[in-house]
Amino acid sequence: MERGIIYLILNKQTGEKYIGNTTLAMNKEWVHHIDRSKRMSSEPVHKAFRQYGVHNFMIKELDEYDDTSLNTKLNEWIEKYKPEYNEYTPPEVVTVIETPIIQVSKKNSQYKPWGSLTEENRSNGKHCGLKIRGKNLTTGICTDYDSVRDAAIDVTGNDNKRANILKAARTGRTAYNHKWQLLEDKNKKKAVFGVNKKTGEIDARYESIAEAVRVLGGSGKGTGLIKSLRNPGKYSWKGSYWFYAR
């Protein structure tokens, strides 16, 4: 049975709020919000991050849930706080891509659960060309795919599962009995940025791994930085978690 956390993000300047749920550790969920803000997510809470600065926000655990209690508890917390940053999504356009299915009633339709047709899920189409490696946890066999869609079709028979595979690759989790890893295109330089491990503030952007290593110092090949990039929110380098700028 899947268990997780219901949490509150608070704008300390305005008092405006966001209610969310996650099965990740709180620090990892926080890093993912910062990452999405950096990628110019159009969700209100991420726009507010950019407007006020991440340092003016805090995240707080409210409750725990399992598969049977998620919907009820979410509705209760949303009714209590009436969060201003939770986007409105009319019930008729909500498309659930993975269980557990959360029905959104008119009364609480301001809440948009993970798995609904959000900006992040719509953007998955542009990630279909990402090369990805899947390790079968039963056989130990690793298979490389030219795209997330190819991986989803081969492993599940359904390309609609690609969002879950992509999320697993970015968070270091497993999906469909596979461990997933995004593969780097070694012929193309990719910009990177760090998120301060203690403050949550976004550090400077560097146009390549080599530039970050040159400016900040470290081993010539940037081993620690690469390890952080391959395990988002899990390993830090030079006091920050590192991400590719997309």
Q: Which of 10-14, 88-92, 167-171, 182-186 has the highest mean pLDDT?
A: 10-14
**Whether residues 43 and 8 fall in one domain:** yes
Residue 51 lies in a domain: yes
Q: What is the model's pLDDT at position 189? A: 66
Residue 126 lies in a domain: no
User: Residue 33: pLDDT band by 50, 70, 90 thresholds?
Assistant: very high
**Whether residues 171 and 198 fall in one domain:** no
Residue 125 lies in a domain: no
**Whether residues 14 and 106 fall in one domain:** yes
**Whether residues 165 and 240 fall in one domain:** no
**Whether residues 111 and 9 fall in one domain:** yes
User: Residue 219: pLDDT band by 50, 70, 90 thresholds?
Assistant: low
Sign of CA dihedral 70, 32, 231, 39: positive
Residue 201 lies in a domain: yes
Residue 124 lies in a domain: no
What is the DSSP code string of 101-161? P----STTTT---TTSS-HHHHGGGGGTT--EEEEETTT--EEEESSHHHHHHHHHS-GGG
**Whether residues 55 and 15 fall in one domain:** yes
User: Residue 29: pLDDT band by 50, 70, 90 thresholds?
Assistant: very high
**Whether residues 176 and 230 fall in one domain:** no
**Whether residues 71 and 95 fall in one domain:** yes
Query: In the sheet where 132-136 sits, what is the strand order?
Result: 142-145, 132-136, 178-182, 174-175
Q: Which of 44-53, 57-66, 154-163, 212-221 has the lowest mean pLDDT?
A: 212-221
Q: Is 29 helix (H, G, I), strand (E, B) or coil?
A: helix
**Whether residues 41 and 111 fall in one domain:** yes
Between residues 94 and 86, which one has the greater pLDDT? Answer: 86
Taking all residues of the chain, what is their mean pLDDT, rounded to a whole number?
76
**Whether residues 88 and 145 fall in one domain:** no
The enclosing domain of 105 has a CATH number of 3.40.1440.10
Domain of residue 9: give its range: 3-119
Residue 127 lies in a domain: no
**Whether residues 115 and 12 fall in one domain:** yes
The 8-class DSSP code of residue 36 comes to H
Q: Which of 66-80, 95-109, 112-126, 224-238 has the highest mean pLDDT?
A: 66-80
Q: How many domains does the chain have?
A: 3
The 8-class DSSP code of residue 43 comes to S
Residues sharing a CB contact under 8 Å with residue 109, sequence separation 6 or more, in sequence order = 88, 89, 90, 91
At residue 56, does pLDDT exceed 60? yes
Mean pLDDT of 188-194: 75
SS (H, E, C) 179-231: EEEECCCCCCCCCEEEEECCCCCEEEEECCHHHHHHHHCCCCCCHHHHHHHHC
Q: What is the model's pLDDT at position 75? A: 87
Residue 146 lies in a domain: yes
Residue 187 lies in a domain: no
**Whether residues 52 and 160 fall in one domain:** no
